[in-house]
Amino acid sequence: MMFEPTREAGLDRLAAFGPKMGRAYASERNYDRPGHDDVSRLSPYLRHRMITEDEVLHAALVRHSHAAAEKFIQEVYWRTYWKGWLEMRPSVWTMYRADVAAALNRVQTESGLRADWEAACRGDTGIEAFDHWAKELVETGYLHNHARMWFASIWIYTLNLPWALGADFFLRHLLDGDPASNTLGWRWVGGMQTVGKTYLARPDNIAKYTEGRFRPQGLAAFAPPLDGFENPPRSPLPTPDPMPSGKLGLLLTEDDLSPEWLLDSVTPESIAVFNGTAYRSPLHVSDRVHSFVSGAVADLEDRIGPIERLDDAAAITQWAGKFDAVVLSHPPVGGTAEVIAQVKAPMSRQIRPYDQKAWPYATAGFFKFKKAIPKLLKAYDDQLTLL
């Protein structure tokens, strides 16, 4: 098993990769090698906050200078940036959902499209590299980031498949499948996220960074931007609700499985979890993803005690009726948040300090966000000074 669904496994991987977070990562991170030892493979744990960004950044700065760990630190913040960007533009997720629905309707009526889509999902296109990655994704729940970019480009420009179906394929199979990173990453490849900027998978680039394992022929030579809607104007970021008093319940979701920061502020009568994994897609989310998240929830229960499982908005509403209010970590834009929005009960949404500090800088492109990283890192530097 490449990813054991426990916090301890995530912390072990974090400790093991710590020495590589500096210049070794910067020089080797783009290589898609078997086993993926040149990248941290922490993303499934970070996606569900089995370990936290605070822990990962601290681990990097304990061992490396800002300059040496710059590339690794930026990769941690890319995920944060995508989330903050989407929090200010939630309609992009809504429109992506509509694009998936429209593409699935086409699949039902266009037999050629259906055959091509199914072949791509099976890894049966005849493009060896692409087929390898499709099968690797299904079999392991993981792909190297560079392979994700190549895969998306080939899906869009060589196979001419709807981009939203590709994003949905990833979201159904990636253990780290994240509504923000996944949706906006596919939009970026297709030239919709940064207007006019696309990503073209090139045989020579693939050959270089797979060290000759693959050099696909017949790939598209051009990557024209896809037609799509303009990025909507920003809306205000969510803010934390006042912490309620009285008889309280604590609701967890698969988006944040390290609730200690909330348990420091509230003593709940009961703790429940809503696992929204099934809501990532209108199609079946892979058994591997379900197994990983269920295992992560079970691991959390081993750490903090009994947790009640809730399956949908009606079950959450019924459970919440026992309390004066329910406290929860703000669910970021995505399928889980859509379900939580349907709950009819007093809810007090709290936002992690890490997100509160970083999300306001996600107003435009990442390069603008990047300028704020030294300011965001100051808190970690101060902690290290006190050690």
Q: Counting Cβ atoms within 10 Å, is residue 195 exposed (0-12), middle (13-18) or buried (19+)?
A: exposed
The string of pLDDT tens digits covering residues 56-77 is: 999 999 999 999 999 999 999 9
Residue-level pLDDT at 382: 76
CA distance from start to end of the chain: 36
Q: What is the CATH number of the domain that holds 174?
A: 1.10.579.10
The answer to whether residue 241 is domain-embedded is: no
Domain enclosing residue 30, as ranges: 7-87+357-386
Cα–Cα distance for residue pair 189/153, rounded to 1 Å:
6
CB within 8 A of 237, min separation 6: which ones?
84, 87, 88, 359, 360
Identify whether the C-beta of residue 283 lies closer than 8 Å to the C-beta of residue 164: no
Give 22-47 pLDDT, tens digit per residue.
999 999 999 999 999 999 999 999 99
Asked whether residue 62 falls in the same domain as residue 112, the answer is no
Domain co-membership, 76 together with 19: yes
- Is there a domain that residue 188 lies in? yes
> Is 186 within a domain?
yes
Separation of alpha carbons 287 and 279, rounded Å: 14
Work out the percent of the chain whose per-residue pLDDT is above 70. Answer: 99
Is 69 contained in some domain?
Answer: yes
> The domain that contains 345 carries what CATH number?
3.40.50.620
| Whether residues 342 and 363 fall in one domain | no
| 311 within some domain | yes
Examine residue 181 and state whether it is found in any structural domain, yes or no: yes
Residues 117, 149, single domain; the answer is: yes
User: What domain count does the chain have?
Assistant: 3
Confidence of residue 386 (pLDDT cuts 50, 70, 90): low
Cβ atoms of residues 20 and 38 within 8 Å = yes
Q: Is the pLDDT of residue 387 over 60?
A: no
> Is residue 260 located within the same domain as residue 296?
yes
Question: What are the angstrom distances between the C-alpha of 181 and each of 65, 103, 104, 113?
Answer: 27, 21, 22, 26
Region 72-86: mean pLDDT is 98
Nearest to 254 by CA among 337, 350, 378, 131: 337
- The label of the residue with tokens 């190297």 reads 144
pLDDT of residue 125: 98
User: What confidence score (pLDDT) does residue 282 get?
Assistant: 97
Cβ count within 10 A of residue 299: 18
Helix (H, G, I), strand (E, B) or coil at 69: coil
Report yes or no on 235 lying in a domain: no
Residue 190: inside a domain, yes or no?
A: yes
Instruction: Provide the whole-model pTM.
Output: 0.96
Among 159, 185, 209, the domain boundary falls at 209
DSSP secondary structure code for residue 157 in this structure: I
CATH code, domain carrying 364:
1.25.40
Name the H helices within 229-286. 260-263
Residue 90 neighbours by CB distance under 10 Å: 17
Q: What angle do CA 320, 321, 323 make, to 5 degrees?
A: 75
If asked whether residues 98 and 205 sit together in one domain, one would say: yes
Which residue bears the tokens 């899906």? 155
- The neighbouring-strand residues paired with 308 are 272
**Residue 104 sits in the same domain as residue 202:** yes
- For residues 34 and 106, membership in a common domain is answered with no
Q: 352, 46 in Cβ contact below 8 A?
A: no
Among 179, 209, 239, identify where a domain stops: 209
Same domain, 258 and 344: yes
Cα gap 271→320, rounded to integer Å:
10
> Do 55 and 111 fall within a single domain?
no
Check whether residue 98 and residue 71 sit in a common domain. Answer: no
**342-368 pLDDT, tens digit each:** 999 999 999 999 999 999 999 999 999
145 and 194 part of one domain? yes
Query: What average pLDDT score do residues 189-218 get?
Result: 96
